[in-house]
Amino acid sequence: MKFKPRRAALVLLVAGAVVAAGLLYFLLHHSSGGELLTLYGDVDIRQSQPAFYDTGPVTQLLVSEGADVTKGELIARIDDSRYAAALTQARQKAADLKAALTRLLHGSRPDEIARDKATMAGLRALFENAQIAYARTVNLFPHGVVSTQSRDDAQATLRAARENYEAARRTYELAVKGPRHEDIISARHAYQAAVAAVAFARQEYIDTRLYAPVDGVIEDRILEPGDMASPGTPVYTIALTNPLWVRAYVSEADLGRIRLGMPATVSTDSYPGRLYHGWIGYLSPTSEFTPKNIETPQLRTALVYQLRVYVCDSRGELRLGMPATVHIDLNNKRTRKTPGCGPNHVDRP
């Protein structure tokens, strides 16, 4: 009797699945002596959705779906012309205020002091001459030599000369003392505010560039060149693949049998017979009702505790959201003090 090709292929496929299942059963139960805790969960989905801090039209998107990105990598730009102009304006204003503060700190220049001193000396000579002229006029007035108008004119000239001299003297004294302390403080505060404005404008200009906040894989490109970006609009969705963990749930009855750092293995339906090394890296301190997407023998109303099994996936085969089965050898009392993936943690086929 001859087999048809289709039937022969089906027989081979079923036989391969049986062999793989038997191998997986052997690997798990032979080493554990039957003390094996099996949990069900999935590879936890973790995502980041970076967005611009500034508002503007998108000019460049530098990565596409499926691309690997590293933290700090430039991935997008928006139009920066307005922010560049604002930064230039802020820098010029800060430079002007710095010059004004420097001028106050240096005080009056020697030639300015010399000029004010010469002006004061000239006005003092005029004042002294006016004093002499007025005294002469007052002495001659009783004898009728000068008129009343001449006496009054001499008195007015003296008064004006005195005021001009006093003003020049105060100007000279201020030049020697220099600017007031309050003026220096005010100018310094104005300059510091301008420096802060420059820093703010510089940061806004820098924020026209979008950098990857984490290592991961571009899952979705939400915006395209020409779209308007804003702080509330994500540009990409980045899938976080490191660290990678399986979220599962353990019943209260089994909670006392496991500990942080215990080794575990993970298997999936996508790769029958392949085991991924891992360890228990997190145990929830609080209980919760069994999630509806977790299939367990217990009632769905039973309280369970969430745990995370960190997984080493050197081949990059595990996908976020992929259903997974966790196997914990309860006879293995060892715990990993410094769990991590390295060259000695190779996925076992």
What would the pLDDT profile of 141-164 be if each residue is shown by its tens digit? 787 777 888 888 888 998 998 999
Written as one letter, the residue type at 209 is R
> 65, 145 in Cβ contact below 8 A?
no
pLDDT value of position 33: 46
pLDDT value of position 31: 44
Distance CA 77, CA 72 (A): 14
pLDDT value of position 291: 62
Please report where in the chains the tokens 């973790």 appear, as a residue.
Answer: 46
Tokens (6 digits) for 17: 């699945």
Strand, coil or helix: 142: helix
pLDDT value of position 3: 44
Q: Does domain 50-79+210-234 have CATH number 2.40.50.100?
A: yes
CATH architecture of 32-46+240-349: Beta Barrel (2.40)
CA atoms within 13 A on the CB side of 46: 13
pLDDT per residue of the chain (349 residues) written in tens, 0 to 9: 444 555 555 545 545 544 444 444 444 444 444 589 999 999 999 999 999 999 999 999 999 999 999 999 999 999 999 999 999 999 999 999 999 999 888 877 778 778 888 888 888 889 888 888 888 888 877 877 778 888 888 889 989 989 998 898 888 777 777 778 888 899 999 999 999 999 999 999 999 999 999 999 999 999 999 999 999 899 999 999 888 999 999 988 888 899 999 999 999 999 998 999 999 999 998 877 766 555 555 554 467 899 999 999 888 889 899 999 999 998 887 776 555 675 444 454 4
Domain ranges of the chain: 32-46+240-349, 50-79+210-234, 84-204
pTM above 0.95, yes or no: no
Do the domains spanning 32-46+240-349 and 50-79+210-234 agree at the CATH topology level?
Answer: no
Distance CA 304, CA 284 (A): 9
